[in-house]
């Protein structure tokens, strides 16, 4: 494929600029390969977070040509040929260095979601019975690799910085996985409304669009949770959704 | 100004994969104050990549299964050089450990009667692997992670241990740096559990991530612990071979478990050509029977694609070497063919193997529901590791425990698929409990090793002093050269002469590593991190090579072209390595303790 220019964000703690690197792009290469090649050739200290290089761990999240994506799953041949490729860190989290951001906020948020609490076992040997069709829905949510790309793209966090009042789409997915778990008996609806800010979500579906695991975050996780909230409380957006849905 | 920050824990767990998380939970439940350290973020450890499943003889799909069969399968797979005590405990305890995951929120695929579903896998006599599609590792690590964060465990993410600290004979803590700032941390602890995973990065074609630089093996070795079975490295038969940038990425054995078949360029299912004698009774000798087996027919024998990994990998290597390979130097793995047998095959494949479908679509532009994949062997797992006591998981250094891939014993010469995830749960828990008990009797001590910490810091920072000055070596270049050499000279087929050259090569690389230089600052600097990892990689490479030279036979993952047969005499010992007083690597053939009669009887009974 020949040489390609990469415009890579370099800098520390928010300060920085793009630096241009040229490197040879071979068949089947992904953006993460290019970053590694640049490290080995000319920028040994280029900070990149990655782990599995197989789309399974959710470490290598970045913004490629402005879009939140996994570097290890973005093939060079799907980007416009002959044009420079920009690679930037996720913008919704504090910057550390180069392509690395501080995502620790997400780990703190997760602790605030009430953990799994199963009903009493169904069988005397302490086990449960669940049918496959009853767990299909939850298994979709449990595909999440915690890449936080959905958090990165959501305007409530990215533009409005509601990190203290809004847990973000990843943790709505997490809450949905718990709430819809056939065995779970905990109730998380009150917090979802009061402290976790589900009301801020106005169903733009940007999160769903970027999810590398193709989880239908908005339709399958957030809207059903909002419905549960509405059953107990009031949510202006949901009122509209309900009106809309009622039309033939 | 202190050169490091100081932390106190009763139990320090190094590694947050399945083994480390399970150990941390167990130690915390015993009332210990637990610190959990990992090189990457929480939930990203290698365990997340496991696909096929976790082996446990629950007998949900075939009620003939029980711990005795699982034990015998594990021993036979490991060619009887396993630590039989670990194989026994593992087979007995795995079912409870899997059920416990369900109680903590894991959602496994279900049987029609609503229990945990189990699938076939190579070397397991009955369907035994509990699974979630082909993302079982993700389910497991997330369940453990979400359970652990509510246990009051102190998690130190993106922190790398560079040295273990000792008080006399006993381990009393560890020194580390954090990636983000490059600052040092001293952890004082009553006991330390190593759960650092494997060594795949010592080779160039591997399914393993950057973390797999053998840190735990090397840290323990440097602290005086014994390593065992290092010659046994598992080359998984099916890694991706094309395009080049994805070479080595794993294609789960689950593809073959669901009916996928291996063919050479002539279209022949070559696995029928070479079925080892000790598996003949249990292996199908025709395609029809093999297919029925994958579809759950209990009267059918297993298809030969599901023979043990070492064997399948060598058969693939043979096809390629003899000119019957695919265009990119592999063979064909075909799951699409099942459309001849079942309706809606495309949907079935996508549901059973979603991440494989995804992986090939996205990385290779190949639709596996329509065309065959090209696959070839990839470095996957190390059976060898830190020698531990089978019950407590304590190494030969008091207070130092090891569990998971970095520990040796359970798998012998070859690991069966699915036996790693269960290993992590069974022995992670045991290590955590015993470490907590050990720590309860010991206190502090790290003060006595402060000078060791200061020296370790000096060594760790030395690459900066050399910077990018003339004569400084690039850490990336040394790492690359080592991987290439190990792949070529100590890979899937070994001969003495090549391995001797590898030893000379390792010594030369060690010299180069002394001149390694890095630039930039200490904050999130991958060049520096790579430089620090070099020592570990070199140590494990040397251990693998020395042990592989000494084992003059072929067994399990270790195949010698100059000694192609199994030697019964060599089946009576394990090779043990230890650091000598002068820093040299000492080696010893350690006799395997006699197996108790009741275990021997089980093995005999299962041979039928
Ligand atoms: C692609 C793939 C698929 C697999 N599929 C299966 C399967 O289906 N079934 C099965 O049973 N097995 C499977 N395996 C094997 C299995 O996944 C691994 O053997 C297992 O997950 C190892 O777990 P662990 O807990 O020992 O280590 P890991 O999960 O690798 O964790 C190691 C931890 O140690 C940390 N660490 C390492 N060095 C340091 C250091 N110096 N300082 C601090 N922390 C450190 C790392 O950051 C990480 O947190 C598969 C492996 C691969 C690669
Ligand atoms: S749908 Fe809701 S959560 Fe998703 S991006 Fe839009 S506002 Fe954010
Ligand atoms: S829901 Fe999707 S986008 Fe969000 S963290 Fe999970 S995998 Fe990533
Ligand atoms: S490196 Fe794991 S998802 Fe990209």
CATH superfamily of B5-235+380-440: FAD/NAD(P)-binding domain (3.50.50.60)
C-alpha B221: how far from chain center: 18
pLDDT of residue B211: 81
Residue among A45, A79, A94 with most chain B CBs within 10 A, to mutate: A45
Measured between alpha carbons, how far is A160 from A158 in angstroms, rounded to an integer? Answer: 6
- Those residues with Cβ within 8 angstroms of residue B68's Cβ, 6 or more apart along the chain or in another chain: B91, B602, B605, B606
Residue bearing the CA closest to ligand 2, atom 8: A154
Residue among B16, B18, B41, B201 with most chain A CBs within 10 A, to mutate: B41
Residue range A140-194, pLDDT digits in tens: 999 999 999 999 999 999 999 999 999 999 999 999 999 999 999 999 999 999 9
pLDDT of residue B197: 96
Confidence of residue A82 (pLDDT cuts 50, 70, 90): confident
Whether B208 lines ligand 1, by a CB cut-off of 6 Å, is yes
Q: Which residues pair with A16 in a beta bridge?
A: A11
Whether A64 lines ligand 4, by a CB cut-off of 6 Å, is no
Q: How large a percentage of chain A has pLDDT more than 90? A: 86
Nearest ligand to the CA of A201 is: 2
- Tell whether the model's pLDDT for residue B339 goes beyond 90: yes
- Tell whether the model's pLDDT for residue A5 goes beyond 90: yes
Instruction: Write the residue in B155, B243, B526 that is nearest to A39 by C-beta.
Output: B526
Whether A150 lines ligand 3, by a CB cut-off of 6 Å, is yes
Confidence of residue B117 (pLDDT cuts 50, 70, 90): very high
B341 is catalytic: no
pLDDT of residue B325: 94
Does any CB of chain A come closer than 8 Å to the CB of residue B48? yes
pLDDT of residue B385: 98
How many residues belong to chain B? 608
Measured between alpha carbons, how far is A179 from A168 in angstroms, rounded to an integer? Answer: 16
List the end-to-end C-alpha distance of chain B, in Å, as a whole number: 69
pLDDT of residue A238: 67
Of B9, B46, B256, B430, the catalytic one is B256
Instruction: Write the residue in B49, B359, B520 that is nearest to A45 by C-beta.
Output: B520
Residue range B464-488, pLDDT digits in tens: 998 867 789 999 999 999 999 999 9
Measured between alpha carbons, how far is B259 from B306 in angstroms, rounded to an integer? Answer: 10
3-class secondary structure, B148 = helix
- Tell whether the model's pLDDT for residue B1 goes beyond 60: no
Q: Is the ipTM of this complex over 0.85?
A: yes
pLDDT of residue B441: 87
- Looking up tokens 């609806």 gives A189
Instruction: Write the residue in B44, B107, B115 that is nearest to A138 by C-beta.
Output: B107
Whether A144 lines ligand 3, by a CB cut-off of 6 Å, is yes
Across the range A229-245, mean pLDDT stands at: 69
Across the range B401-421, mean pLDDT stands at: 97
What are the residue ranges spanned by the domains of chain B?
5-235+380-440, 238-377
- Those residues with Cβ within 8 angstroms of residue B157's Cβ, 6 or more apart along the chain or in another chain: A104, A107, B16, B38, B40, B41, B42
B380 is catalytic: no
Confidence of residue B242 (pLDDT cuts 50, 70, 90): confident
pTM for this one?
Answer: 0.94
Of B236, B309, B522, B536, the catalytic one is B236
- Tell whether the model's pLDDT for residue A232 goes beyond 80: no
- Tell whether the model's pLDDT for residue A248 goes beyond 60: no
Q: Looking at per-residue confidence, does A239 or A137 come out higher?
A: A137
Across the range A44-49, mean pLDDT stands at: 94
Tell me the fold of B238-377: Flavocytochrome C3; Chain A, domain 1 (3.90.700)
- Those residues with Cβ within 8 angstroms of residue B604's Cβ, 6 or more apart along the chain or in another chain: none
3-class secondary structure, B36 = strand
User: Both tokens of residue A128?
Assistant: 């449960």
For chain B, the average pLDDT equals: 94
């Amino acid at each position: 494929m020949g040489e390609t220019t990469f415009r890579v964000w370099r800098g520390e703690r928010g300060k920085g600029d793009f630096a241009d690197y040229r490197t040879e792009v071979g068949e089947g290469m992904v953006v993460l390969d290019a970053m590694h090649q640049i490290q080995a050739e000319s920028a040994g200290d280029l900070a990149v977070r990655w782990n599995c290089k197989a789309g399974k761990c959710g470490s290598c999240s970045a913004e490629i040509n402005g879009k939140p994506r996994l570097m290890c799953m973005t093939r060079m041949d799907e980007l416009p040929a002959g044009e420079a490729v920009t690679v930037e860190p996720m913008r919704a989290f504090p910057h550390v260095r180069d392509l690395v951001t501080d995502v620790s906020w997400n780990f703190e948020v997760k602790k605030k979601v009430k953990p799994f609490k199963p009903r009493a076992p169904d069988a005397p040997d302490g086990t449960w019975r669940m049918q496959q069709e009853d767990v299909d829905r939850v298994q979709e949510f449990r595909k999440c690799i915690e890449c936080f790309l959905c958090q990165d793209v959501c305007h409530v966090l990215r533009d409005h910085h509601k990190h203290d009042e809004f847990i973000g789409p990843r943790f709505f997915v997490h809450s949905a996985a718990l709430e819809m778990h056939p065995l779970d008996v905990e109730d998380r609806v009150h917090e979802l409304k009061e402290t976790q800010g589900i009301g801020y979500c106005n169903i733009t579906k940007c999160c769903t669009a970027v999810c590398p695991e193709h989880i239908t975050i908005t339709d399958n996780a957030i809207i059903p949770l909002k419905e549960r909230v509405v059953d107990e409380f009031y949510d202006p957006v949901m009122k509209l959704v309900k009106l809309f849905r009622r039309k033939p | 100004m202190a050169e490091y920050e100081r932390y106190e824990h009763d139990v320090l767990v190094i590694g947050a994969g399945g083994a480390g998380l399970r150990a941390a939970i167990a130690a915390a439940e015993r009332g210990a104050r637990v610190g959990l350290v990992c090189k990457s973020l929480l939930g990203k450890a290698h365990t997340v990549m496991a696909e096929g499943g976790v082996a446990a003889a629950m007998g949900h799909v075939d009620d003939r299964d029980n711990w005795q069969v699982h034990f015998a399968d594990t021993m036979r797979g490991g060619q009887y050089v396993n630590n039989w005590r670990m194989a026994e405990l593992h087979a007995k305890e795995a079912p409870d450990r899997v059920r416990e995951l369900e109680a903590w929120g894991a959602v496994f695929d279900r049987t029609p009667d609503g229990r945990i579903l189990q699938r076939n896998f190579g070397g397991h006599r009955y369907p035994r692997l509990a699974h979630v599609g082909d993302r079982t590792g993700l389910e497991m690590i997330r369940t453990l992670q979400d359970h652990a964060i509510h246990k009051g465990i102190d998690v130190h993410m993106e922190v790398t241990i560079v040295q273990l600290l000792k008080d006399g004979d006993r381990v009393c803590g560890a020194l580390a740096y954090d990636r983000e700032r490059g600052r040092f941390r001293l952890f004082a602890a009553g006991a330390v559990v190593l759960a650092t995973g494997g060594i795949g990065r010592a080779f160039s074609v591997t399914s393993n991530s950057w973390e797999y630089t053998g840190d735990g093996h090397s840290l323990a070795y440097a602290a005086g612990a014994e390593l065992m079975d290092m010659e046994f490295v598992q080359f998984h038969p099916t890694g991706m071979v094309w395009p080049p940038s994805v070479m080595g990425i794993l294609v789960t054995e689950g593809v073959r478990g669901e009916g996928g078949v291996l063919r050479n360029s002539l279209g022949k299912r070559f696995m029928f050509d070479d079925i080892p004698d000790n598996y003949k009774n249990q292996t199908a000798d025709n395609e029809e029977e093999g297919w029925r087996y994958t579809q759950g027919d209990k009267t059918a024998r297993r298809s030969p694609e599901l023979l043990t990994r070492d064997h399948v990998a060598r058969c693939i290597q043979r096809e390629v070497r003899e000119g019957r390979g695919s265009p990119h130097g592999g063979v064909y793995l075909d799951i699409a063919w099942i459309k001849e047998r079942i309706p809606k095959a495309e949907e079935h494949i996508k549901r059973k193997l979603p991440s494989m479908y995804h992986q090939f679509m996205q990385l290779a532009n190949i639709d596996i529901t329509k065309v065959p994949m090209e696959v070839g062997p990839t470095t996957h797992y190390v059976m060898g590791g830190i020698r531990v006591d089978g019950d407590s998981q304590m190494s030969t250094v008091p207070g130092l425990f090891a569990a998971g891939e970095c520990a040796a014993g359970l798998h012998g010469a070859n690991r069966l698929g699915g036996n790693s995830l269960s290993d992590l749960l069974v022995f992670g828990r045991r290590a955590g409990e015993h470490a907590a008990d050990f720590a309860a009797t010991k206190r502090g001590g790290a003060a006595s090793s402060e000078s060791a910490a200061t020296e370790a810091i000096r060594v760790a920072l030395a690459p900066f002093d050399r910077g990018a000055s003339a004569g400084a070596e690039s850490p990336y270049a040394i790492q690359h050269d080592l991987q290439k050499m190990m792949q070529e000279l100590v890979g899937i087929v070994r001969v003495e002469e090549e391995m001797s050259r590898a030893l000379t090569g390792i010594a030369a690389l060690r010299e180069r590593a002394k001149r390694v230089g890095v630039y930039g600052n200490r904050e999130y600097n991958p060049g520096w991190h790579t430089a620090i990892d070099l020592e570990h990689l070199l140590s494990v490479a040397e251990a693998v090579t020395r042990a592989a030279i000494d084992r003059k036979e072929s067994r399990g993952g270790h195949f010698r072209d100059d000694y192609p047969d199994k030697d019964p005499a060599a089946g009576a010992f394990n090779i043990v390595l230890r650091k000598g007083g002068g820093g040299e690597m000492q080696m010893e053939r350690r006799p395997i303790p006699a197996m108790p009669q009741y275990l021997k009887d089980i093995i005999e009974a299962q041979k039928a």
